[in-house]
Amino acid sequence: MLIDWDEVEAQLAPVIDVEAMAATPQDASWHAEGDVWTHTKMALESLVADPAYLALDRDARAVVFAAVLFHDVGKPGCTKHEPDGRISSRGHSGAGDVMVRAALWRAGASFARREQICALVRSHQVPFFGVDKAPPDATRLAVRLSLVTRNDWLAMVAAADAHGRRTTDPRDRERILTNCALWRDLTAEAECLDRPRAFADAHSRFVYLDDQSGTRAPEVPAYDDTVAEAVVLSGLPASGKSTWLAARPDLAVISLDDLRDELGVEHGEAQGAVVAAARDRAKEHLRAARPFAWNATSITRQMRRSLVELCTSYRFRVRIVYCEVSATEQRARNRARAEAERVPERAMDAMLTRWTVPTPEEAHAVDYVVDVDGVADVAGAPAWPPSTP
């Protein structure tokens, strides 16, 4: 199967910088083939020759093709020449995840397809090393990933990455390919190769993934001693969080925007005092076992994890409600706000460099309220890429 590279590069122009990838070198020990774009093309050519890829349906091929296409887009910004002469690109998987999300959101991609692609991009190296972890940790990692992507697709993306490179020592490449095959075996044994791992209930899933002892089994129900539920809103500004809350007037709300007004803190100023005041108010609800909602953007995984850990320490269940609208709608809503409430474009652009979408393993429940021009899009028809080999 041939790839029309002129067409691919034309489609990519509004999404990623191919020239930057072509100008980014790689360490010869692991990438003797040369620059990032050369490697990406080799990986894609390997993918489309894989019988397992050809056996996928059209939508699945679109997701896997895009994941291989984008898997190293984070490298240009992460590549460094080390003092010992080596070239490194630490953190490029996570950086690529954020870049792809922002680019595809602006391009109008389907939410469902976009997040499938992003999950594969940020985890594409896991099969290289995941099987080398201690058995409980490897299994928990496989289970965790099964909640956000398909492990058979992930192994396919990783194998294409391995095939699309030349290593100084050929044994290194073979070892990577062996680990990709072993990842398929491990995830099949863990009952999560091509589907999410089943659990007795949401609380049991959360407890299993939060357990560090490695002694819990996914199929064993966990005792539920939770006393109430906290709702953590998440989403970019003007994405519908306050609208969602307006339909639940009986729910106590901690709003960081309201606290900024109370404390006289502007958006561009240090927010430490605002967050500290919000956490103090949250503790009042937690101590009283009183359900409440935390209304803020919460667009980073670190911020959400901090809130989840606070709430679960008081035996609360946590529900994350993620809201999103199209880039066009978000801009229109933001411009329609009063000037004092409007988020400057520069601040919005900065948010997009940190923007992550909550995943099911982060809390007891994650709800997605995604609206694109008045149409719910969580399970909507994929819209990008427009065509794949």
Tell me, letter by letter, the H, E, C secondary structure of 310-337. HHHCCCEEEEEEEEEECHHHHHHHHHHC
> Could you tell me the two tokens for 80?
């460094």
pLDDT digits (tens, 9 = 90+) for 193-244: 999 999 999 999 999 999 888 788 889 999 999 999 999 999 999 999 999 9
> pLDDT at position 379, please?
40
> Could you tell me the two tokens for 227?
């006393």
Query: What is the torsional sign of CA 145, 151, 157, 162?
Result: positive
Q: What is the distance of C-alpha 346 from the center of its chain?
A: 23
Residues of the chain with pLDDT under 50: 378-388
> Could you tell me the two tokens for 139?
């299994």
Place of tokens 């108010």: 281
Rounded to whole angstroms, the Cα distance separating 71 from 122 reads: 8
Rounded to whole angstroms, the Cα distance separating 246 from 329 reads: 19
**111-123 and 58-70 helices cross at what angle (nearest 10)?**
50
Burial of 121 (C-beta count, 10 Å sphere; 0-12/13-18/19+): buried
Whether 115 and 106 have beta carbons less than 8 Å apart is answered as: no
Burial of 299 (C-beta count, 10 Å sphere; 0-12/13-18/19+): buried
pLDDT digits (tens, 9 = 90+) for 150-177: 999 999 999 999 999 999 999 999 999 9
Tell me the chain's radius of gyration from C-alpha atoms.
22
Residues 6+ apart with CB under 8 A from 298: 232, 233, 234, 235, 304, 307, 320
Query: What is the torsional sign of CA 336, 340, 346, 349?
Result: negative
Whether 211 and 196 have beta carbons less than 8 Å apart is answered as: no
> Could you tell me the two tokens for 222?
């966990």
pTM for this structure?
Answer: 0.92
**58-70 and 36-47 helices cross at what angle (nearest 10)?**
160
> pLDDT at position 270, please?
61
> Could you tell me the two tokens for 100?
């792809």
CB-based burial, 332-369: b 16+ in 10 Å, e otherwise? ebbeeeeeeebbeeeebeeebeebbbbbbbbbbbbebb
Whether 146 and 116 have beta carbons less than 8 Å apart is answered as: no
Whether 193 and 156 have beta carbons less than 8 Å apart is answered as: no
Rounded to whole angstroms, the Cα distance separating 362 from 307 reads: 11
Strand extents, DSSP E, the chain: 80-81, 87-88, 228-234, 252-255, 292-295, 316-325, 365-372, 375-376
**92-107 and 111-123 helices cross at what angle (nearest 10)?**
170
